[in-house]
Amino acid sequence: MNAQGRKVLVKVPASTANLGPGFDSLGMALSLYTWIEMKQSDETVFHLHGEGKDELPRDKSNLVYKIAQMVFHEAGVSVPELEIAMYSEIPLTRGLGSSATAIIGALTAANALIGEPLSKDRLFQMATALEGHPDNVGASLFGGIIVAAWDGESAQHVRLEPPPQLETLVAIPAFQLSTEKARHALPSEVSRADAVFNVGRSSLLVAALACGELALIRHAMRDRLHQPYRAALIPGMTEILERAADYGALGAALSGAGPTLIAFVDAAGSEKAELESFLQRTLQKEGIAAETMWLAPCSVGPEIIVVDEAAPGSEGHQPSWQSLMDIVKGEVKA
Ligand code: HSE
Protein backbone atom coordinates (compact mmCIF):
# COMPACT_ATOMS: atom_id res chain seq x y z
CA MET A 1 0.00 0.00 0.00
CA ASN A 2 1.13 3.55 -0.75
CA ALA A 3 1.95 5.62 2.35
CA GLN A 4 1.03 8.88 0.58
CA GLY A 5 -1.46 10.98 2.54
CA ARG A 6 -1.51 8.66 5.54
CA LYS A 7 -0.44 9.51 9.06
CA VAL A 8 -0.09 6.98 11.84
CA LEU A 9 -0.03 7.51 15.61
CA VAL A 10 0.92 4.70 17.98
CA LYS A 11 0.87 4.64 21.79
CA VAL A 12 3.21 2.02 23.27
CA PRO A 13 3.37 0.87 26.91
CA ALA A 14 6.56 0.74 28.99
CA SER A 15 7.61 -2.55 30.52
CA THR A 16 9.37 -4.18 33.41
CA ALA A 17 11.57 -7.15 32.53
CA ASN A 18 12.75 -10.25 34.43
CA LEU A 19 10.18 -9.89 37.27
CA GLY A 20 12.99 -11.17 39.52
CA PRO A 21 13.88 -14.75 38.49
CA GLY A 22 12.81 -14.70 34.82
CA PHE A 23 16.01 -13.19 33.45
CA ASP A 24 15.59 -12.36 29.75
CA SER A 25 12.32 -14.29 29.62
CA LEU A 26 9.54 -12.61 31.66
CA GLY A 27 8.13 -9.12 31.19
CA MET A 28 5.04 -7.09 31.98
CA ALA A 29 3.64 -4.00 30.26
CA LEU A 30 3.10 -0.93 32.47
CA SER A 31 0.81 2.10 32.24
CA LEU A 32 3.46 4.63 31.21
CA TYR A 33 3.73 5.44 27.51
CA THR A 34 5.63 6.58 24.45
CA TRP A 35 3.73 8.06 21.49
CA ILE A 36 5.17 8.00 17.97
CA GLU A 37 3.62 9.69 14.97
CA MET A 38 4.86 8.97 11.46
CA LYS A 39 4.04 10.16 7.95
CA GLN A 40 5.68 10.28 4.57
CA SER A 41 7.40 13.59 3.89
CA ASP A 42 9.50 15.48 1.32
CA GLU A 43 12.42 15.54 3.72
CA THR A 44 13.11 13.75 6.99
CA VAL A 45 12.28 15.82 10.06
CA PHE A 46 11.89 15.05 13.76
CA HIS A 47 9.81 16.62 16.51
CA LEU A 48 10.96 15.19 19.86
CA HIS A 49 9.19 15.90 23.14
CA GLY A 50 9.27 14.60 26.70
CA GLU A 51 11.85 12.26 28.23
CA GLY A 52 15.09 12.02 26.24
CA LYS A 53 14.14 14.76 23.77
CA ASP A 54 17.59 16.35 23.97
CA GLU A 55 19.50 13.05 23.99
CA LEU A 56 18.09 11.48 20.82
CA PRO A 57 19.46 12.19 17.32
CA ARG A 58 17.33 14.24 14.91
CA ASP A 59 18.72 12.82 11.69
CA LYS A 60 18.61 9.52 9.83
CA SER A 61 20.74 7.90 12.53
CA ASN A 62 17.65 8.08 14.80
CA LEU A 63 16.61 4.55 15.89
CA VAL A 64 12.95 5.10 14.99
CA TYR A 65 13.86 6.18 11.46
CA LYS A 66 16.29 3.28 10.97
CA ILE A 67 13.79 0.69 12.19
CA ALA A 68 11.03 2.14 9.99
CA GLN A 69 13.35 1.68 7.00
CA MET A 70 13.89 -1.98 8.00
CA VAL A 71 10.11 -2.51 7.83
CA PHE A 72 9.83 -0.84 4.43
CA HIS A 73 12.78 -2.87 3.12
CA GLU A 74 11.28 -6.14 4.38
CA ALA A 75 7.92 -5.24 2.82
CA GLY A 76 9.57 -4.23 -0.46
CA VAL A 77 8.35 -0.62 -0.46
CA SER A 78 10.24 2.66 -0.56
CA VAL A 79 9.44 5.53 1.84
CA PRO A 80 12.82 7.26 2.18
CA GLU A 81 11.68 10.52 3.80
CA LEU A 82 9.60 10.62 6.97
CA GLU A 83 8.21 13.17 9.38
CA ILE A 84 8.48 11.62 12.83
CA ALA A 85 7.09 13.07 16.05
CA MET A 86 7.73 11.42 19.38
CA TYR A 87 6.65 12.08 22.95
CA SER A 88 7.76 9.88 25.81
CA GLU A 89 6.95 9.87 29.50
CA ILE A 90 9.27 6.89 30.10
CA PRO A 91 12.61 7.87 31.63
CA LEU A 92 15.59 6.72 29.53
CA THR A 93 18.02 4.03 30.70
CA ARG A 94 16.27 3.33 34.01
CA GLY A 95 14.97 -0.20 33.44
CA LEU A 96 11.46 0.63 32.21
CA GLY A 97 11.95 -0.48 28.62
CA SER A 98 12.21 2.94 26.94
CA SER A 99 14.32 1.56 24.07
CA ALA A 100 11.89 -1.33 23.62
CA THR A 101 8.99 1.14 23.28
CA ALA A 102 10.94 3.02 20.59
CA ILE A 103 11.56 -0.26 18.73
CA ILE A 104 7.95 -1.44 19.00
CA GLY A 105 6.60 2.04 18.21
CA ALA A 106 8.78 2.33 15.11
CA LEU A 107 7.96 -1.17 13.83
CA THR A 108 4.24 -0.77 14.47
CA ALA A 109 3.94 2.74 13.04
CA ALA A 110 5.94 1.94 9.89
CA ASN A 111 3.98 -1.27 9.32
CA ALA A 112 0.65 0.56 9.77
CA LEU A 113 1.77 3.33 7.42
CA ILE A 114 2.06 0.84 4.56
CA GLY A 115 -1.10 -1.17 5.34
CA GLU A 116 0.29 -3.73 7.84
CA PRO A 117 1.97 -6.20 5.45
CA LEU A 118 4.05 -7.71 8.29
CA SER A 119 2.40 -9.96 10.89
CA LYS A 120 2.60 -9.20 14.60
CA ASP A 121 4.79 -12.27 15.06
CA ARG A 122 7.17 -10.98 12.39
CA LEU A 123 7.40 -7.67 14.26
CA PHE A 124 8.12 -9.62 17.47
CA GLN A 125 10.94 -11.56 15.77
CA MET A 126 12.46 -8.34 14.39
CA ALA A 127 12.11 -6.54 17.73
CA THR A 128 13.72 -9.40 19.66
CA ALA A 129 16.66 -9.55 17.27
CA LEU A 130 17.13 -5.78 17.60
CA GLU A 131 16.90 -5.74 21.40
CA GLY A 132 18.78 -9.02 21.95
CA HIS A 133 16.15 -10.43 24.33
CA PRO A 134 12.36 -10.80 24.10
CA ASP A 135 11.16 -9.69 27.56
CA ASN A 136 10.72 -5.91 27.18
CA VAL A 137 9.75 -5.86 23.50
CA GLY A 138 7.31 -8.77 23.99
CA ALA A 139 5.54 -6.98 26.84
CA SER A 140 5.31 -3.71 24.90
CA LEU A 141 4.04 -5.49 21.77
CA PHE A 142 1.51 -7.90 23.29
CA GLY A 143 0.61 -6.10 26.53
CA GLY A 144 -0.01 -7.95 29.80
CA ILE A 145 2.55 -10.46 31.07
CA ILE A 146 4.85 -12.08 28.54
CA VAL A 147 6.63 -15.41 28.98
CA ALA A 148 9.14 -15.81 26.17
CA ALA A 149 12.14 -17.76 24.98
CA TRP A 150 14.68 -16.78 22.31
CA ASP A 151 17.42 -18.99 20.86
CA GLY A 152 19.20 -16.28 18.89
CA GLU A 153 17.12 -17.01 15.79
CA SER A 154 13.49 -17.28 16.74
CA ALA A 155 11.38 -16.28 19.71
CA GLN A 156 8.30 -18.01 21.13
CA HIS A 157 5.94 -16.48 23.63
CA VAL A 158 2.79 -16.91 25.69
CA ARG A 159 0.86 -13.88 26.92
CA LEU A 160 -0.86 -13.94 30.30
CA GLU A 161 -3.53 -11.57 31.51
CA PRO A 162 -2.23 -9.83 34.66
CA PRO A 163 -4.21 -10.64 37.84
CA PRO A 164 -6.84 -7.87 38.10
CA GLN A 165 -5.84 -6.84 41.62
CA LEU A 166 -2.14 -6.48 40.77
CA GLU A 167 -0.63 -2.99 40.96
CA THR A 168 3.02 -1.92 41.00
CA LEU A 169 5.07 0.72 42.77
CA VAL A 170 8.26 1.78 41.02
CA ALA A 171 11.11 3.76 42.55
CA ILE A 172 13.06 5.40 39.75
CA PRO A 173 16.51 6.58 40.91
CA ALA A 174 17.72 9.87 39.49
CA PHE A 175 20.70 8.25 37.76
CA GLN A 176 20.96 6.31 34.51
CA LEU A 177 22.36 2.78 34.27
CA SER A 178 22.99 1.34 30.83
CA THR A 179 21.84 -2.20 30.15
CA GLU A 180 25.30 -2.85 28.74
CA LYS A 181 26.97 -1.92 32.04
CA ALA A 182 24.40 -3.89 34.06
CA ARG A 183 24.91 -6.98 31.85
CA HIS A 184 28.65 -6.60 32.09
CA ALA A 185 28.37 -7.14 35.87
CA LEU A 186 27.03 -10.67 35.34
CA PRO A 187 29.22 -13.78 35.51
CA SER A 188 29.47 -15.96 32.40
CA GLU A 189 28.83 -19.13 34.41
CA VAL A 190 26.55 -19.94 37.35
CA SER A 191 26.38 -22.93 39.69
CA ARG A 192 23.84 -25.68 39.21
CA ALA A 193 22.35 -24.79 42.62
CA ASP A 194 21.69 -21.21 41.45
CA ALA A 195 20.28 -22.41 38.12
CA VAL A 196 17.91 -24.79 39.93
CA PHE A 197 16.95 -22.01 42.37
CA ASN A 198 15.90 -19.77 39.45
CA VAL A 199 14.14 -22.47 37.41
CA GLY A 200 11.98 -23.21 40.46
CA ARG A 201 11.21 -19.57 41.29
CA SER A 202 10.57 -18.54 37.71
CA SER A 203 8.23 -21.49 37.09
CA LEU A 204 6.42 -20.83 40.36
CA LEU A 205 6.05 -17.14 39.51
CA VAL A 206 4.51 -17.82 36.10
CA ALA A 207 2.09 -20.36 37.59
CA ALA A 208 1.22 -18.01 40.49
CA LEU A 209 0.53 -15.09 38.12
CA ALA A 210 -1.48 -17.29 35.76
CA CYS A 211 -3.66 -18.63 38.62
CA GLY A 212 -3.88 -15.36 40.57
CA GLU A 213 -2.11 -16.95 43.59
CA LEU A 214 -0.73 -13.63 44.80
CA ALA A 215 0.45 -14.98 48.18
CA LEU A 216 3.06 -17.12 46.40
CA ILE A 217 4.72 -14.13 44.72
CA ARG A 218 6.95 -13.33 47.70
CA HIS A 219 8.50 -16.82 47.50
CA ALA A 220 8.63 -16.84 43.71
CA MET A 221 10.01 -13.37 43.01
CA ARG A 222 13.55 -14.23 44.10
CA ASP A 223 16.62 -14.48 41.96
CA ARG A 224 20.21 -15.65 42.01
CA LEU A 225 21.15 -15.13 38.36
CA HIS A 226 21.40 -11.38 38.01
CA GLN A 227 20.16 -9.28 40.96
CA PRO A 228 22.95 -10.22 43.41
CA TYR A 229 25.58 -9.20 40.84
CA ARG A 230 23.85 -5.93 40.00
CA ALA A 231 23.31 -4.95 43.64
CA ALA A 232 26.61 -3.07 43.85
CA LEU A 233 25.39 -0.75 41.06
CA ILE A 234 22.21 0.18 42.95
CA PRO A 235 22.86 1.05 46.60
CA GLY A 236 19.82 0.24 48.76
CA MET A 237 18.55 -2.43 46.36
CA THR A 238 19.35 -5.44 48.56
CA GLU A 239 17.56 -3.97 51.57
CA ILE A 240 14.52 -3.09 49.48
CA LEU A 241 14.29 -6.56 47.93
CA GLU A 242 14.69 -8.26 51.31
CA ARG A 243 12.29 -6.08 53.31
CA ALA A 244 9.61 -4.81 50.90
CA ALA A 245 7.30 -7.68 51.90
CA ASP A 246 7.46 -6.46 55.54
CA TYR A 247 5.84 -3.24 54.29
CA GLY A 248 3.02 -4.98 52.46
CA ALA A 249 4.57 -5.74 49.04
CA LEU A 250 3.68 -9.04 47.39
CA GLY A 251 7.27 -9.15 46.15
CA ALA A 252 9.96 -6.86 44.77
CA ALA A 253 12.58 -6.96 42.04
CA LEU A 254 15.03 -4.94 40.07
CA SER A 255 13.11 -3.69 37.02
CA GLY A 256 14.96 -4.98 33.97
CA ALA A 257 18.62 -4.07 34.20
CA GLY A 258 17.81 -1.30 36.72
CA PRO A 259 18.30 1.02 38.39
CA THR A 260 14.49 1.20 38.89
CA LEU A 261 13.10 -1.04 41.62
CA ILE A 262 9.60 -2.44 41.35
CA ALA A 263 7.28 -3.77 44.04
CA PHE A 264 4.21 -5.85 43.21
CA VAL A 265 1.29 -4.82 45.37
CA ASP A 266 -2.30 -5.93 45.96
CA ALA A 267 -4.28 -2.88 44.80
CA ALA A 268 -6.67 -3.33 47.74
CA GLY A 269 -3.80 -3.46 50.28
CA SER A 270 -3.78 -1.06 53.23
CA GLU A 271 -0.02 -0.42 53.58
CA LYS A 272 0.70 1.43 50.35
CA ALA A 273 1.89 4.68 51.95
CA GLU A 274 4.23 2.77 54.30
CA LEU A 275 5.74 0.85 51.39
CA GLU A 276 6.29 4.01 49.37
CA SER A 277 8.00 5.78 52.25
CA PHE A 278 10.15 2.68 52.97
CA LEU A 279 11.42 2.71 49.37
CA GLN A 280 12.07 6.46 49.45
CA ARG A 281 13.76 6.32 52.86
CA THR A 282 16.01 3.39 51.97
CA LEU A 283 17.29 5.02 48.78
CA GLN A 284 17.65 8.41 50.50
CA LYS A 285 19.80 6.78 53.21
CA GLU A 286 22.19 5.82 50.40
CA GLY A 287 22.16 9.38 49.05
CA ILE A 288 19.96 8.45 46.08
CA ALA A 289 17.11 10.70 45.01
CA ALA A 290 14.27 8.71 43.48
CA GLU A 291 10.84 9.34 42.07
CA THR A 292 8.11 6.87 43.06
CA MET A 293 5.13 6.11 40.85
CA TRP A 294 2.14 3.77 41.12
CA LEU A 295 1.67 1.98 37.82
CA ALA A 296 -0.99 -0.52 36.83
CA PRO A 297 -0.13 -3.38 34.49
CA CYS A 298 -1.13 -2.44 30.92
CA SER A 299 -3.19 -5.18 29.27
CA VAL A 300 -2.83 -4.01 25.70
CA GLY A 301 0.07 -3.53 23.30
CA PRO A 302 0.33 -0.57 20.91
CA GLU A 303 -2.83 1.37 20.22
CA ILE A 304 -2.77 2.52 16.60
CA ILE A 305 -4.62 5.40 14.97
CA VAL A 306 -4.36 5.75 11.20
CA VAL A 307 -5.49 9.04 9.64
CA ASP A 308 -5.94 9.23 5.91
CA GLU A 309 -5.26 12.91 5.29
CA ALA A 310 -6.61 12.66 1.75
CA ALA A 311 -9.99 11.50 3.07
CA PRO A 312 -12.94 13.94 3.04
CA GLY A 313 -13.32 15.89 6.27
CA SER A 314 -9.61 15.88 7.10
CA GLU A 315 -8.81 19.22 5.42
CA GLY A 316 -7.31 21.93 7.55
CA HIS A 317 -5.62 19.59 10.01
CA GLN A 318 -2.75 20.90 12.17
CA PRO A 319 0.86 20.08 11.41
CA SER A 320 1.55 16.58 12.75
CA TRP A 321 3.62 17.55 15.80
CA GLN A 322 0.81 19.76 17.04
CA SER A 323 -1.79 17.09 16.60
CA LEU A 324 0.44 14.62 18.45
CA MET A 325 0.73 17.02 21.36
CA ASP A 326 -3.04 17.63 21.28
CA ILE A 327 -3.69 13.92 21.57
CA VAL A 328 -1.06 13.40 24.25
CA LYS A 329 -2.21 16.40 26.30
CA GLY A 330 -4.43 15.31 29.14
CA GLU A 331 -3.26 11.70 28.89
CA VAL A 332 0.21 12.08 30.38
CA LYS A 333 1.09 11.33 34.02
CA ALA A 334 3.08 14.49 34.68
N1 HSE B 1 16.53 -8.87 30.61
C2 HSE B 1 17.31 -7.70 30.41
C3 HSE B 1 18.39 -7.60 31.46
C4 HSE B 1 16.39 -6.50 30.48
O5 HSE B 1 18.11 -7.85 32.62
O6 HSE B 1 19.53 -7.29 31.12
C7 HSE B 1 17.09 -5.19 30.28
O8 HSE B 1 17.14 -4.80 28.97
41 is in an annotated binding site: no
101 is in an annotated binding site: yes
**Confidence grade of residue 238 (pLDDT, cut at 50, 70, 90):** very high
pTM check: above 0.85: yes
**Which residue has the CA at smallest separation from atom 6 of ligand 1?**
257
The gap from C-alpha 142 to its chain's centroid, in whole angstroms, comes to 11
Note the pLDDT of residue 322. Answer: 55
**Domains of the chain in sequence order:** 6-160+298-328 (3.30.230.10), 166-295 (3.30.70.890)
**DSSP per-residue string spanning 250-305:** SEEEE-TTSS-EEEEEETT-S-HHHHHHHHHHHHHHTT--EEEEEEPBP----EEE
Give per-residue pLDDT as tens, 139-198: 999 999 999 999 999 999 999 999 999 999 999 999 888 889 999 999 999 999 999 999
78 is in an annotated binding site: no
The CA 132 to ligand 1 mean position distance, Å, reads: 9
Which among 19, 24, 178 is the best mutation to test ligand 1's pocket, defined by most ligand atoms within 8 Å of the CB?
Answer: 24
Looking at the CA of residue 132, tell me the nearest atom of ligand 1. 8
Q: Tell whether the torsion through CA atoms of 326, 13, 274 and 254 is positive or negative.
A: negative
Q: Tell whether the torsion through CA atoms of 285, 288, 289 and 295 is positive or negative.
A: negative
**Which residue has the CA at smallest separation from atom 1 of ligand 1?**
24
Q: How far apart are CA 111 and CA 271, in angstroms?
A: 44
Which residues, including other chains, have CB under 8 Å from residue 149's CB and lie 6 or more apart? 25, 134, 155, 156, 157
**Which residue has the CA at smallest separation from atom 3 of ligand 1?**
257
Ligand 1 proximity of 15 Cβ (cutoff 6 Å): no
**Which residue has the CA at smallest separation from atom 4 of ligand 1?**
256
**Confidence grade of residue 76 (pLDDT, cut at 50, 70, 90):** very high
Q: How far apart are CA 295 and CA 33, in angstroms?
A: 11
- Reference 168, options 13, 331, 40, 3; nearest CA is 13
Give per-residue pLDDT as tens, 245-280: 999 999 999 999 999 999 999 999 888 999 999 999
Q: What share of the chain has pLDDT > 90, as a percent?
A: 83
Note the pLDDT of residue 316. Answer: 44
Note the pLDDT of residue 312. Answer: 56
The CA 231 to ligand 1 mean position distance, Å, reads: 14
